[in-house]
Amino acid sequence: MNRRLMLTLPALVALAAFVGCSDDKKKVTDPSDTGFTEGTVADGSAFVTSIDGSSYDDFNGFTFATSTISHGVDVDGSGWDIAFRREDITSSSSAQGARLSGMEFGDVGSSDVPADGDQAWQNGGVAYAIDDWYSYSTGNLAMTHYVYSMMDASGEHWVKFRIDNVVGATGQNNMGSVEISYFYQATASSLDLDGTVQTATIVVDDGTGYFDFSTGTQVTPADPANSMDWDIAFSRFTLSLNGGASGGGECAAFYAYTELNDPTAIEDFTAQPEFAQTFPDTYGSALSEWYNYNGATHELSPKDEVYLIKSGGKVYKVALESYYGDVDGQPVSALYQFRWEEVQ
């Protein structure tokens, strides 16, 4: 599973609203501080930057060469290197990223930087929230049959569903039809998902198949990017949600199978956890999978990995240190702290 979005407790959301934002580099977060303030401080040869990514709408960007924080950046633009919004970290069109697994920050040097053109370097793109619905090996496609839940495009109704089969696929560019099982909760805001499971077939072939859970039908939206008439879409073995980077709706997924003894038992998932984290499709980068998710506490923690960001002819190593900042003595999500240093 790749993507996960923090839905904070109401109290924490309220606290987050009071977090101040500033481009003033004199306002910095020091380890001895009891509150969160944006900025960058030196720590030996490295630097530690604190940046507020708590907005649900806007990305805040960071530029390594100037240690500059920019608020409300154009995610499709440039003038920044990496940007943060909730659990999402993306890179600009002018930057590339690479992930170094199994290495310590202090041990990474110029000899660890991949050569230009190496496949380790990644550009930004869409990171799909649900990308573990099948496995593929040596020409064989197998369904995982995992159970997922999600908020629909309206942002008012919960759904649970499972992808049961792909029928008639003739290659990567033609995936035939997709068979699903689902239950749609027609009562707005209800977390109850204990009901009769329906089935449906979505015809995809070499195009895109859009499906609306509220009507239980395949639809053909005239303007998919801005339409609220679809919830999920299949195309070339990708599953898109109508929200985040893939659409104008409010769709965001929860990995319901992590709550089940049998991850395929859709009937056993009877209620959406009230404060569970959900995840939309988002803008990806080498840092897209930066965190581990604790299903018991619904918290995120940075993986023990080092990332490289290449921008403006220079390469910087980056290690994420925390996702939670302190506001009035309370932890608040999406207040990032990361360590970085130029290596080439």
pLDDT tens, residue by residue, 206-231: 999 999 999 999 999 999 999 999 99
Cβ-contact 265, 256 below 8 angstroms:
no
Higher-scoring residue by pLDDT: 283, 306: 306
For residue 20, what pLDDT is reported?
Answer: 34
Q: Which has the minimum average pLDDT: 2-6, 33-37, 305-309, 336-340? A: 2-6
Residue 304: DSSP 8-state: S
Please check the confidence at residue 14 and state whether its pLDDT lies above 70.
Answer: no
Please check the confidence at residue 9 and state whether its pLDDT lies above 50.
Answer: no
Helix (H, G, I), strand (E, B) or coil at 93: coil
Please check the confidence at residue 34 and state whether its pLDDT lies above 80.
Answer: no
DSSP strands (E only) in 224-290:
232-235, 238-241, 252-254, 282-284
* pLDDT tens track for 134-178: 998 777 889 999 999 999 999 999 999 999 999 999 988 899 999
CA distance 146 to 161: 9
pTM: 0.65
Which sequence spans correspond to the domains of the chain? 10-124+284-342, 129-268
Radius of gyration of the chain (CA): 21
Of the pLDDT bands very low, low, confident and very high (cuts 50, 70, 90), residue 10 is very low
Higher-scoring residue by pLDDT: 51, 93: 51
